[in-house]
C-alpha cells in the first residue's frame, strides 16, 4: 500500500482503504450517514483517482459496506424516497483505526452475537451456503433499525459522538476533512445536539458551550505539526484532498469526554461524574487508556440501546443479543 509521498494523489491511488474512504464520506456528512451514491460522489470529488474504473472500485466498496460490521445500513424514511438505504458507521468503530489513522486499521471490527441460533433462524433471503461462519455481518448488523424515527437519529448521534471520540492522528478523519468537521461544530450544524435533544438529553443552549463543555478535551492544533510529531511525512499535496491547516485533535491530558451516554435514553440523566466508570474502557478490551475511550463508551449509546428492542419481533430479535467488539489481531 503506497504511503503519502511528495507526488500528488491525483494520479495515483490514495493510501486509504475502501473502508477508510467510506468512513471518511460518512463522517463528513452532516447526518453522519450517506446513501451509497453520495459515498461514491464524496470519494470521486476528493480523490481523482477514483474517477476512473468506477465499476471496479464501486463494486469493492459495496462489498465492504456489506461485509464489514463497522458499517450499518439505515432504511430510508417514508418521506425520503430514493434508491438504496443510508449507510452509517457503527458507533463502536471509531476505535477501529490505529491511533485514529485512516491509513490503517488496528483491528478488525466485528459484531458478535451471544445467541447464534438467531443467525440460523432469522436468515432473510436464505442465501444457501452463506452460513454464519464467514459473514456475521449482514444479519448481525443494524439492518433491523426502524426506517424512521429514533433509529436513524440515534445512529447519527452515536456516529457524531464517535466522530469526536479520540482521533488525533494526522490522518484521522478530523484532519482529513477537518475543515468541514470543524465547520459543522461551529456553524450549529452538529446533529448530535439536536438528536440528543430529540432523545431527551439536556442540550446546552449555545453550541459553543457544547463544544467547550461536551468536548473539553478537544483542542486545535496544527495538523502538520501533529503529523511531524507522529513521524508521518507530510506534504502540501494533502491540501488538495481537504486536509485542513488547522485540525482538531485531542490534548493528551484529557482522556474522557463528557458526553453522557446512558445505557438507555432516559429523560433524567445521572450526573456525568456517575457515568465516568461506564465510560472507561472495559478491562477485557485491554486497550490503553487512549483518548478514543469514548468509542467504547459509544457501546452504551442510544444506538447500542436500540440493539436491545423492548418488544422484539421475530425479525427484530436477531439483534436482541447483539453486541459489538473490536477484535484484536
Q: Which residues pair with 220 in a beta bridge?
A: 248
What stretch of H or E contains 297? helix 293-297
Residues 43-72 that bind DNA (CB under 7 A): 53, 56-57, 59-60, 62-68
What stretch of H or E contains 322? strand 322-327
Tell whether residue 179 is a contact of DNA (CB under 7 A): no
Tell whether residue 139 is a contact of DNA (CB under 7 A): yes
Residues 308-327 that bind DNA (CB under 7 A): 327
Q: 72 or 297, CB closer to DNA?
A: 72
Tell whether residue 5 is a contact of DNA (CB under 7 A): no
Among 114, 117, 130, 225, binds DNA (CB under 7 A): 130
Cell numbers of 317, please? 430479535
Tell whether residue 17 is a contact of DNA (CB under 7 A): yes
Tell whether residue 143 is a contact of DNA (CB under 7 A): yes
| Per-residue buried b or exposed e for 289-306, using 16+ beta carbons within 10 Å of the residue's own CB | ebbbbbbbbbbbbbbbbb
DSSP structural state of residue 281 = P
Among 114, 117, 121, 127, binds DNA (CB under 7 A): 127
Rounded Cα distance between 296 and 21, Å, is 22
Rounded Cα distance between 281 and 295, Å, is 9
Least distance (Å) from DNA to the CB of residue 136? 9
Among 1, 268, 283, 284, binds DNA (CB under 7 A): 1
Tell whether residue 176 is a contact of DNA (CB under 7 A): no
Least distance (Å) from DNA to the CB of residue 259? 26
Least distance (Å) from DNA to the CB of residue 294? 21
Alpha helix (H) residue ranges in 74-177: 117-121, 137-140, 150-163, 173-176
Q: CA separation (Å) from 259 to 91, 154, 217, 233, 269?
A: 13, 14, 11, 33, 11
| Per-residue buried b or exposed e for 28-51, using 16+ beta carbons within 10 Å of the residue's own CB | bbebbbbbbebbbebbbebbbbbe
Q: 19 or 295, CB closer to DNA?
A: 19
**How many C-beta atoms lie closer than 10 Å to residue 181's C-beta?**
24
Among 77, 135, 246, 323, binds DNA (CB under 7 A): 135
DSSP structural state of residue 320 = T
Least distance (Å) from DNA to the CB of residue 82? 6
Stretch that binds DNA, among 81-89, 180-188, 197-205, 249-257 (CB under 7 A): 81-89
Rounded Cα distance between 96 and 111, Å, is 12
Output the CA torsion sign for 118, 121, 124, 129. positive
Least distance (Å) from DNA to the CB of residue 144? 11
Burial grade of 227 (CB within 10 A; 0-12, 13-18, 19 or more): buried
Residues 27-46 that bind DNA (CB under 7 A): 35-37, 40
Tell whether residue 267 is a contact of DNA (CB under 7 A): no
Among 52, 78, 79, 81, binds DNA (CB under 7 A): 81
Number of residues that bind DNA (CB under 7 A): 46
Tell whether residue 121 is a contact of DNA (CB under 7 A): no
Query: What is the contact mask toward DNA in residues 153 to 172, using x (rule: CB under 7 A)?
Result: --------------------
Tell whether residue 114 is a contact of DNA (CB under 7 A): no
The SS3 of residue 190 is coil
Tell whether residue 137 is a contact of DNA (CB under 7 A): yes
List residues near DNA by CB under 7 A. Answer: 1, 16-19, 35-37, 40, 53, 56-57, 59-60, 62-68, 73, 81-85, 87, 104-105, 107-108, 124-125, 127, 129-131, 134-135, 137-139, 143, 327, 329
Amino acid at each position: 500500500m503506497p504511503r503519502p509521498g511528495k507526488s500528488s494523489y491525483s494520479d495515483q491511488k490514495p493510501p486509504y482503504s475502501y473502508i477508510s474512504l467510506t468512513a471518511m464520506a460518512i463522517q463528513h456528512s452532516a447526518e453522519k450517514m450517506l446513501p451509497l451514491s453520495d459515498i461514491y460522489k464524496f470519494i470521486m470529488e476528493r480523490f481523482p483517482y477514483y474517477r476512473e474504473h468506477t465499476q471496479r472500485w464501486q463494486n469493492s466498496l459495496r462489498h465492504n459496506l456489506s461485509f464489514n460490521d463497522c458499517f450499518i445500513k439505515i432504511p430510508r424514511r417514508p418521506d425520503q424516497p430514493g434508491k438504496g438505504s443510508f449507510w452509517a458507521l457503527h458507533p463502536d468503530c471509531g476505535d477501529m483505526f490505529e491511533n485514529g489513522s485512516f491509513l490503517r486499521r488496528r483491528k478488525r471490527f466485528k459484531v458478535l452475537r451471544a445467541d447464534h441460533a438467531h443467525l440460523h433462524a432469522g436468515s432473510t433471503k436464505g442465501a444457501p451456503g452463506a452460513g454464519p461462519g464467514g459473514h456475521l455481518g449482514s444479519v448481525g448488523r443494524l439492518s433491523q433499525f426502524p426506517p424512521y424515527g429514533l433509529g436513524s437519529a440515534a445512529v447519527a448521534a452515536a456516529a457524531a459522538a464517535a466522530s469526536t471520540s479520540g482521533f488525533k492522528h494526522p490522518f484521522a478523519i478530523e484532519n482529513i476533512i477537518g475543515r468541514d468537521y470543524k465547520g459543522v461544530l461551529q456553524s450549529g450544524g452538529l446533529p448530535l445536539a439536536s438528536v440528543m435533544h430529540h432523545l431527551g438529553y439536556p442540550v446546552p443552549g449555545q453550541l459553543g458551550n457544547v463544544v467547550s463543555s461536551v468536548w473539553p478535551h478537544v483542542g486545535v492544533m496544527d495538523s502538520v505539526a501533529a503529523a511531524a510529531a507522529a513521524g508521518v511525512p507530510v506534504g502540501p499535496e494533502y491540501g488538495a484532498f481537504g486536509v485542513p491547516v488547522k485540525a482538531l485533535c485531542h490534548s493528551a491530558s484529557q482522556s474522557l469526554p463528557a458526553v453522557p451516554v446512558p445505557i438507555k435514553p432516559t429523560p433524567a440523566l445521572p450526573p456525568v461524574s456517575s457515568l465516568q466508570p461506564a465510560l472507561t474502557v472495559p478491562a477485557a478490551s485491554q486497550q490503553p487508556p487512549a483518548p478514543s475511550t469514548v468509542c467504547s463508551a459509544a457501546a452504551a449509546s442510544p444506538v447500542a440501546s436500540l440493539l436491545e428492542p423492548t418488544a422484539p419481533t421475530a425479525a427484530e430479535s436477531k439483534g436482541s443479543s447483539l453486541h459489538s467488539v473490536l477484535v484484536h489481531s
